[in-house]
Amino acid sequence: MKKNTSLLLMFLLAVSLLSACGKNAAEPADVAQTTAAAPADTAQTTAVAAQAADGETAETADLVTIKVNIEDLGGNIAVTDDGSDPAPDPDYPMQSAFSNVAKGTVVKILAEPEEGYHFFKWTVDGAEYSTEPMITVTAEEDTEFIAEFLPEGKDGNPVALDAVTTLGELLGLPEVGTSFTDTALVYAFEQEGSTYRAVCDISEDVSQALFALEFDDPEYEQKRKDLIAPLPVREIENLTESIPTQEEAEAYLGKTGQELIDDGWTVSFYNLEDLNFEMNHGAYSYAVTFEGEVKDPENFDEYADMGGLTVATISCSGVGDATYIEMPEE
């Protein structure tokens, strides 16, 4: 009996050991499987993240910026990238726009002139691109399109100055300068080799608004033009045609320098050694030579010490301060 019991115990022990060995062998396999799966999941997650990042980078890289602006005043612009024809919004007109679109997108751009203006041309990097008001472009690279508008008649023909009613009709012409008081504004410009000035009456509110503009404001020029464009033009004078003749200039011979100063002349340059002066009167500049004596050259005041000087020669040099406004006496 003892022998049989021992055999049974040995048999049960062997079965137990086999079972234990089988379990221990399976556990490392499970661990290995889990361990192998973790890097696979991590790699897959990393690949997906990289794919998303690559997709985002590629999408960003494929975006093209299309900018549209206008040169000076004169009109508005509209832009579409959905295949429809653009049309300016009458309630919210645009003079500047930009779109970030996918590379290859077809973009339509329209320039519409305001009253008194006509569309002239589109330019890209300063070069003419098209003379058609609406252009269709394929976005291949970042590009800025500039629309140019001109007052009626400017290209090839001068502006009909006798038909001008508001200052905005002149703002496309080369500007010489602008000056203003509380009641008047002078806008000087050039056309066909002549210098003109347009005189406008302004309100005190417009004058104060102009005075309040900051020169370092990026939108200074546009704000200034928005204020002065609607001003009605009272008169336009051709300064070049009105340059005083030599005979008219010589009417000042023999006058003292102080008489000229008292009559509103100003000094822009002088050389006391030769008594040569550059002086301005109204919108014109004059070369004046005096005779006489300056008592204290080192402390010379050109507005107080010219009584002892007399005009010896004088000639008009041409247009000087084209924006001159005679200030009313207080």
Q: What is the CATH number of domain 63-151?
A: 2.60.40
pLDDT at 145: 96
What string of H, E and C letters represents the secondary structure of 274-291?
Answer: CCEEEEEECCEEEEEEEE
Domain ranges of the chain: 63-151, 161-238, 246-319
Residue 321 identity (one-letter amino acid): D
CA distance 123 to 146: 5
Crossing angle of helices 220-228 and 204-212, in 10° steps, is 170
* Structure tokens given for 10: 């040995």
- Give the CA-trace dihedral at 22, 24, 30, 32, to 10 degrees: -120
pLDDT at 36: 36
CA distance 181 to 328: 10
What secondary structure letter does DSSP report for 252? G
pLDDT at 328: 53
Q: For the chain (length 330 residues), average pLDDT per consecutive 10? A: 39 40 40 36 36 47 88 88 91 89 94 86 91 94 92 74 91 89 94 92 95 92 91 96 96 96 94 95 96 92 92 96 73
Coil, strand or helix at 243: coil
* Structure tokens given for 260: 């000229």
Looking at the whole model, is its pTM more than 0.85? no
pLDDT at 222: 87
